[in-house]
Amino acid sequence: MITAGDFRTGKTIEYDGQVYRVIEFQHVKPGKGAAFVRTKLKDIRNGGVIETSFRPTEKFEEAQIDRIDMQYLYKDGDTYNFMNAETFDQVALTEDDIADVMKFVKENEFVKVLSYKGQIFSVEPPLFVELEVTETEPGFKGNTSTGATKPCIVETGAQVMVPLFVEIGDILQIDTRTGEYLKRV
């Protein structure tokens, strides 16, 4: 059991028959009245976000989320196929569930597959990936005083905004949480 006073970003709890991850929390102590905890909770199954407040002493069951290292094998139609590297069990997940997460993941890379009570609900890609630029417009010298950017397409098909000096064939390091270009490798 965990109390609302013990909330931290990333904790997962069971509330109203659903499993939520704490996105934000704030302990509030008003001048009059009792203290409370204002929170933003994200439903781990459907991604919906709710804002609610709790008394600091309210208790919740802590949800145990299993993170399993799996290798992304290939995409077949609208399903992504993964393999557990230890047991060689294979799992297929639909594009509707994880398409936005997989846009920076190449075949044969390892990801963490998240499950709750045996039901898989999400995938965590590596924090940083290195991808090759396959399409971009040519940059122009001298046009960098404003920190200008241009769109480029990387080998997984995702679009990333990059500085003007990036060319086709460059290897880029990308933050998968934000989709931002970090540097050329």
Percentage of the chain exceeding pLDDT 90: 31
Common-topology check for domains 2-62 and 65-124: no
Q: Please tell me the pTM assigned to this model.
A: 0.72
- So where are the chain's domains? 2-62, 65-124, 128-184
Decide yes or no: CATH 3.30.1330.10 for domain 128-184.
no
* Three-state secondary structure call for residue 14: strand
Decide yes or no: CATH 3.40.1410.10 for domain 65-124.
no
Which of 42, 43, 49, 61 shows the shortest CA–CA distance to 4?
A: 61
N residues, the chain: 185
Give the phi and the psi of residue 76 in degrees, each rounded to 5: -125, 100
CB 103 within 8 A of CB 75: no
Q: What digits encode the pLDDT tens for the residues 26-44?
A: 999 988 888 999 999 988 8
CB 107 within 8 A of CB 125: no
Topology of the domain comprising 2-62:
SH3 type barrels. (2.30.30)
* Three-state secondary structure call for residue 95: helix
Q: What digits encode the pLDDT tens for the residues 41-94?
A: 988 877 789 999 999 999 999 888 888 999 999 988 888 899 998 899 899 888
Q: What digits encode the pLDDT tens for the residues 104-140?
A: 889 899 999 888 888 888 888 899 999 999 998 886 6
Max Cα-Cα span within the chain: 62
CB 181 within 8 A of CB 160: yes
